[in-house]
Amino acid sequence: MPEPSVLASLVSALREGAIEIVDLTAPLSAATPLIQLPSEFGQTAAFELQQISRYDGRGPAWYWNNFRTGEHSGTHFDAPNHWVTGRHLDDVASVPVRRLIAPAAVLDFSAEAERDPDFLLEVDHVKAWEAENGPLPDGGWLLLRTGWDERAQSQEEFLNADDNGPHTPGLSPECARWLAEESPVIGLGVETVGTDAGRGHAFEPAFPCHSYLMGNDKYGLTQLQNLALLPPTGAVVIAGPLPIVTGSGSPARVLALVER
């Protein structure tokens, strides 16, 4: 008999549980935490459903809704044109589909973030991780686990803001530049509301993850969940943003394939 094809082997492994599908996506609802900018800037819309019909006179056999929200709500994908540094690069509809399926490295700094919500990942942290686990995947994702998804049921706890602004973990400006300009990855995934640390507005440049990553034709994934279920290496991430023409991003269903 002929050898099974790669796709047939994949389907068989999924069916038999040899490969597990881990959902990295936060449920999207009116309770989903949203980023809050200073009042002088525009604000993203909260998620809301507007019922069209529900098995009634407006549509006797069907239920459906309109929905309204911002492109960067909940678990979402940042395209390069989201930031001024990438304004001439791809919109979310133009991102090559081959880049939506990629390997992932999961760097776990949840203990550090628990001790210090302003924890910043440095290049030395990444280098130390590589010394133990091997190089970051070429054309893959760096996923930063901080345990922040445990706060996702509360807008207040998730943003963790005081009079000085939000306090959430992220990358130092130096690490953001290195990740964008020197590392082989195509993007950064985080559990927080955005790819930048809460203090990112005060960095130089401001919001360095957005500035460097978008300007170097790389991507962001935010508000991920269940990174604790992934191994440090070996998982494959499938990111599914809506192909919104001229859009700067989109809520996304993000899945990981993990060989068990």
The residues carrying an active-site annotation are: 82
Instruction: Give the count of beta carbons closer than 10 Å to the beta carbon of residue 130.
Output: 14
Q: Which residues, listed in sequence order, are joined to residue 252 by a DSSP beta bridge?
A: 241
Question: H/E element holding 212?
Answer: helix 208-215
* Measured distance CA(104)–CA(208) in Å, rounded: 22
Instruction: Give the count of beta carbons closer than 10 Å to the beta carbon of residue 84.
Output: 11
CA proximity to 44, closest of 72, 7, 77: 72
* Measured distance CA(228)–CA(207) in Å, rounded: 26
CB contact at 8 A, 47 and 67: yes
